[in-house]
Chain A
Amino acid sequence: MSERAQEGRTAEGPTAGEGRTAGGGHGTGGGPGRVLVAVYGVFALAAGARAAVQIARQFDEAPLAYTLSAFAAAVYLLLAVALGRGMRRLALVACGIELAGVLIVGTLSLVDPEAFPKATVWSGFGSGYVFIPLVLPVLGLYWLSRRR
């Protein structure tokens, strides 16, 4: 499978040497990794903005849920940066936290809905975001394991 990653690099042609991101094709932010970084970026923006609005306007309504939303946004941002710059270990840890978060919060939100009166990105295993929050960490871990 690593051949496909190689193919992506050769397609870079003469510009391959420029590699703005650390390592370019070598790192975790090249090839398909670019797409992963883009998705994490969008989620960091969406979850972050949403959490900021919620915390600023109605924090008292659901402090736990809103704090978790902000935490999730921070993890997404961390992952976008870590993957984009090829910080493998940091990305691995963040992916683990993300997977644990979505599984724990997802389960809790179903078992004890009253603890989460307001939805977070991770509620119901990310059902409000077409389960992308559940798929993302798995994809991330898979991608990291391939780019060893």
Chain B
Amino acid sequence: MIGPLATGLIVFALVIALASLLTTALNKSMGTVLLVALGVLEIGLLVQAGFVVAALAAGEGPTDTATLIGYTAGTVVIPPVAAFWGVGERSRWGPAVIAVAGFAIPGMVGRMLQIWQGMG
């Protein structure tokens, strides 16, 4: 796992979460910007998942492989599902759904880092 990429993903996801909360607070529905940002986040998470899988295939990484794979899969699944679920709601609560995902991702990536470093 790559520290800088993981850190970047955490920060980016938090920015998306805060921007979504702001959108909700301003009583606006989902905009293109949020969707594109979510797409970029998803690409980053896919890249990270690729690195994790490659490392595991090469026999590197932590002993707790199963949990790591679980979190990796979770991070990849959440943004698209959130986008789907958020776009369906054309009110201020659409972006609020994105905010939930934006806060879940940092938690999960953080746990992945801990497991990777053998602290989990």
Contact = CB atoms under 8 A, between A and B. Distances in A.
Interface of A: 7-9, 11-13, 15-16, 20-21, 30-35, 37-39, 41-42, 45-46, 49-50, 52-53, 56-57
Contacts of A13: 90
A38 to B, nearest CB: 4
Contacts, number: 71
Chain A, interface SS category: helix
Interface residues of B, number: 27
Given A31-B91, A32-B96, A37-B85, A42 B66 contact: no
Interface of B: 29, 66-67, 70-71, 73-74, 77-78, 81-82, 85-86, 88-94, 96-97, 99-101, 104, 108
A11 B104 contact: no
A50 B78 contact: no
Nearest to A20: B88
